[in-house]
Amino acid sequence: MNTLQSHYLKAKEVLPGGVNSSTRFNKAIGKPFYVSKGRGSRVWDIEGKEYIDMCCAHGAGLLGNAHPAIDGALRRAASIGYVNSFETEYHEELARRVCGYIPCADRVRFCSSGSEATLHLIRACRAFTGKEKIIRIEGHFHGYHEMIYIGGQPPRSEFGRNRSEPYIESPGIPKEYAQFIIPVPYNDREALAAAVNDHAHETAMLIMEPVNFNCAGITPEPGYLAFVRELTRDNDIVLFFDEIQSSFKKSLGGAQADFGVIPDVCTIGKALGGGLPLSAFCGRAEIMDIFQPVGPVQHSGTFNAHLVPVLAGLAFLDEAARPDFYPSLRSLEDRFHAGIDAIIHDYGLSMTVTHHGARFNMLLGRTEPALRYEDTFCHDSRLFLEILKSCWERGVYFHDYGGGPAHHGYSIKHTNDDIDRVLTVLHDVLYIYQNSLQMHAEAMEVL
């Protein structure tokens, strides 16, 4: 038995499924991927095998593994004694810089995870408006908690009912929570206008991923975000961009700056901590001042804005603000997509790879980007897992996301050679699977 397998058996004795996050059970390889170390664009498994890291901590690792700037932040924190549960001058400095970069941010509060950020901001939107319902977009993901893990990504068999009975995405979430959720299709102005028309009087917020990285990387159609902005403003609905994934991937201002549409509030996270747990929620002063001690809404926590990730956040922003940071990421993006598009074209593959900044999604079963969630039902998860496993065997680690068309990406530490190596592996692997992809595409046409 190899080391990975025996470690898995031991870990399962004390951790459910051998993991601390359900999705760390990697369906492509049939067990979790246990790692011993990471440096730059690389990670090594516990048998010492090296991989190019195309997960990059689900988007949190935009600086790569063990970036020297983050090492510096850790040393700085140690010299301060990593005092916790106190405000320091660094908290104000980080908040001021975030407010300078993120267009909608007059004020910001820091926490650790994306799920926490959406939870607290949903509460604030409800308290601010005095309304309770949430319009959400199908396919979008906003964390695993009771407030919003409903109606986002129903299985195909449940999809038909989702708009009348929003699908509860995990057992254990009381069905009563579904009454607050109004799912609508992405990029569909009529459906959104109808939902607003029917529910504006009881709807606190419209929450959305401006780029749907959690499902096929669906981007907003031209004019859609501006339409959403106007409709929500006219109907006293808070516009909430969940930028946990999209923040910092293409620019310092996030997707709201990239598309030029400013929400009332947003969450940001992942990359912000330079690999350490840091997320934030921000927005217009009048909404953010709903929090105690200014307003009545509670938001507290022993580990909120821990000094270590706060210092890492400052170090991350120093790096991301360098004049060559985004041009370098952009050149990796151009290189990767020119390469993968050529492979798709040369083999006539039925797949599409969408991207926004340093993150991209692979969708099987169609050559045109999807516009809404149901367009992604053509994706073959089983085939995709086989493709990802073959890449893994060849030293390129893409996270499996259960075979779904979720996001992958690179960091500032990836080199042109890394990108070329990934393209070579994809070239070889997709060549092996081109007949399966073709057969799948033909089967989808018959359906």
Ligand X SMILES: Cc1ncc(COP(=O)(O)O)c(C=O)c1O
* Count of chain residues binding ligand X (CB under 6 A): 14
User: Least distance (Å) from ligand X to the CB of residue 119?
Assistant: 9
Distance in angstroms (rounded) separating the CA atoms of residues 33 and 30 = 9
Span of 45-53, 135-143, 309-317, 359-367 interacting with ligand X by CB under 6 A: 135-143
Q: Judged by CB under 6 A, which of 33, 34, 110, 141 binds ligand X?
A: 141
Q: Is 400 in the site for ligand X (CB under 6 A)?
A: no
Q: Which residue's Cβ has the minimum distance to ligand X?
A: 114
Considering only residues 294 through 353, tell me which ones interact with ligand X, judged by CB under 6 A.
none
User: Least distance (Å) from ligand X to the CB of residue 60?
Assistant: 8
Considering only residues 186 through 245, tell me which ones interact with ligand X, judged by CB under 6 A.
209, 214, 242, 244-245
Among candidates 142, 334, 315, which has minimal Cα distance to 245?
142
Give me 74's structure tokens. Answer: 């850790």
Span of 66-74, 110-118, 256-264, 304-312 interacting with ligand X by CB under 6 A: 110-118
Q: Is 138 in the site for ligand X (CB under 6 A)?
A: no
Q: Is 143 in the site for ligand X (CB under 6 A)?
A: yes
Instruction: Select 214 or 352, whichever has its Cβ closest to ligand X.
Output: 214
Burial class (CB in 10 A: 0-12, 13-18, 19+), 123: middle
Q: Judged by CB under 6 A, which of 113, 235, 381, 436 binds ligand X?
A: 113
Q: Is 115 in the site for ligand X (CB under 6 A)?
A: yes
Span of 78-86, 91-99, 112-120, 165-173 interacting with ligand X by CB under 6 A: 112-120
Instruction: Select 168 or 437, whichever has its Cβ closest to ligand X.
Output: 168
Going residue by residue from 47 to 76, which x/- string records binding to ligand X, judged by CB under 6 A? Answer: -----------x------------------
Instruction: Select 228 or 244, whichever has its Cβ closest to ligand X.
Output: 244
Strands of the sheet with 407-409, listed across from one edge: 351-356, 359-364, 407-409
Q: Is 114 in the site for ligand X (CB under 6 A)?
A: yes
Instruction: Select 214 or 411, whichever has its Cβ closest to ligand X.
Output: 214
Q: Is 357 in the site for ligand X (CB under 6 A)?
A: no
Instruction: Select 114 or 357, whichever has its Cβ closest to ligand X.
Output: 114
Instruction: Select 303 or 431, whichever has its Cβ closest to ligand X.
Output: 303
Going residue by residue from 268 to 297, which x/- string records binding to ligand X, judged by CB under 6 A? Answer: -x----------------------------
Instruction: Select 115 or 129, whichever has its Cβ closest to ligand X.
Output: 115
Instruction: Select 53 or 418, whichever has its Cβ closest to ligand X.
Output: 53
- 3-state SS string over the chain? CCHHHHHHHHHHHHCHHHCCCHHHEECCCCEECCEEEEEECEEEECCCCEEEECCCHHHCCCCCECCHHHHHHHHHHHHHCCCCCCCCHHHHHHHHHHHHHCCCCCEEEEECCHHHHHHHHHHHHHHHHCCCEEEEECCCCCCCCCCCCECCCCCHHHHCCCCCCCCECCCCCCHHHHHHEEEECCCCHHHHHHHHHHHHHHEEEEEECCCECCCCCECCCCCHHHHHHHHHHHCCCEEEEEECCCCCCCCCCHHHHHHCCCCCEEEECHHHHCCCCCEEEEECHHHHCCECCCCCECCCCCCCCCHHHHHHHHHHHHHHCCCCHHHHHHHHHHHHHHHHHHHHHHHCCCEEEEEECCEEEEEECCCCCCCCHHHHHHCCHHHHHHHHHHHHHCCEECCCHHHCCCEEECCCCCCHHHHHHHHHHHHHHHHHHHHHHHHHHHHHHHC
Instruction: Select 357 or 429, whichever has its Cβ closest to ligand X.
Output: 357
User: Least distance (Å) from ligand X to the CB of residue 116?
Assistant: 7
Q: Is 247 in the site for ligand X (CB under 6 A)?
A: no
Instruction: Select 125 or 429, whichever has its Cβ closest to ligand X.
Output: 125
- Residue ranges in contact with ligand X by CB under 6 A: 58, 113-115, 118, 141-143, 209, 214, 242, 244-245, 269
